Structure 1
Amino acid sequence: MRDVVHAMDDLLPGKFEITREGIVHDAISPNSPHELTRLRLRKCLETAMPQEIVAHTGKPDVEDESEGIMRRPDVMVIAWSDMDVPGSFDPRALIAAIEVVSHSNPDNDWIGKVRDYPLIGIPIYAIFDPRTGTGAVLTDINTTPDGPRYATRKDFVYGEDVTIGDWTISTDGLPRYQPIGR
């Protein structure tokens, strides 16, 4: 499936990822509020973090071959030294994964990744939702009968400070999506 996803990445717009259920395609390319949110989060985090840690917004993916999951977080908090690898990043090397909820496929961020990220060992998952001006930071992976799950969830609204790992950033002024049809 990985080869199919990489081939489609070059041919079709949007973003492709692999979950346990199959390939997820976010068909619409990210819009301005999505990209501005990614940029603001990256810049705020990098201002707060030590230089050996980066808030990365590009490729490659994170992949756990044993679980059959390949994801591409909007922002990956990772040490520079853990980026120097061939192929995909090891998800367990990430300090945090940050997602800006897609206007076209919000369930991918709020349901699919909430399930997949603890399964592949990403210790912190922060979700920013420009549709509602809210978000959540999920931490503390716990083993359950249904598999690993985040045990702690801290909700926030835009305008509040939010803590991701060891760093607190402002959400004041993050862009919001306009209602569809405008």
Structure 2
Amino acid sequence: MTIAPLYRAMRDFVQTSNDSLPGKFEITKEGIVHDMMSPGGPHEVTAAQVSRRLEKVMPDDLLAHNGTPDVEDAPEGILRHPDVMVIAWADLNVEGSIDPHTVIAAIEIVSRSNPDNDWVTKLRDYPLMGIPVYAVFDPRTGTGAVFTDIHATPAGPRYATRKDFVYGEDVTIADWTIPTDGLPRYPGEDGGQE
């Protein structure tokens, strides 16, 4: 596999910057995206609760992982870090980045500082990488959506099906249904907790 020099330079920058600069860097089709704020509070609690709820209903050979490493599709020039990814234990046990074709579902918790990263660019990048299910939880609004059924479009692969949900409803991610009640909202948002 050949890696384009520009992508290699961006990947080197991201790997060194994520350890030394605040926030999180990822690589999209357009270049580097930087989420200035490190996630905390409701973002991290939501990721942990979604992970735990999924693991209660999934088979033991699967994991709802919310740690490192990144998911990388070098030929497409994309390096992403899902908040939670559903993956087999065996597929996580690799050196370096995760092959996106082994990811069963990518789950993102919308960032207050850069919501378009989750609702727009990842919605474009994940089907391009071949990730079959993409779920978005938005603590700003207490809503979310699950995207499935990748299909070809003139703009490239996209998800054909979108199922919206509001916090309090059950949501199905791939083959597993979990409750969304009790997920935190960002403070100061409509209906949020202070």
**Structure 2 Cα separation of the partners of residues 10 and 62 of structure 1:** 17
After TM superposition, which residue ranges in structure 1, 4 or more long, deviate above 2 angstroms? none
**Structure 2 Cα separation of the partners of residues 179 and 69 of structure 1:** 34
Superposed counterparts of 1:17-28, under 5 Å? 17-28=26-37
Match for residue 65 of structure 1?
Answer: 74
Aligned residue among 121, 125, 128 for 1:116: 125
Match for residue 52 of structure 1?
Answer: 61
Match for residue 151 of structure 2?
Answer: 142
Secondary structure (helix, strand or coil) at the match of 2:87 reads: strand
- Deviation digits for residues 12-58 of structure 1 (CA, Å, limit 9, x no counterpart): 11111000111001010112000000010010000000010000001
Post-superposition offset of 1:127: 0.1
1:33 aligns with 2:47: no
1:95 aligns with 2:111: no
Match for residue 128 of structure 1?
Answer: 137
Post-superposition offset of 1:67: 0.4
For 1:49, the aligned partner's letter is: M
Post-superposition offset of 1:89: 0.1
**Structure 1 Cα separation of the partners of residues 149 and 180 of structure 2:** 23
Secondary structure (helix, strand or coil) at the match of 1:117 reads: helix
**Structure 2 Cα separation of the partners of residues 140 and 14 of structure 1:** 32
1:178 aligns with 2:187: yes
Secondary structure (helix, strand or coil) at the match of 2:76 reads: coil
- Deviation digits for residues 78-124 of structure 1 (CA, Å, limit 9, x no counterpart): 00010111110001100000000000000000000000000010000
1:152 aligns with 2:161: yes
For 1:39, the aligned partner's letter is: A
The TM-score normalised by the length of structure 1 is 0.98
What residue ranges of structure 1 are gaps of 5+ in the alignment?
none
- Number of matched residues? 181
Amino-acid identity (%): 69
C-alpha RMSD of matched pairs (Å): 0.9
Match for residue 13 of structure 1?
Answer: 22
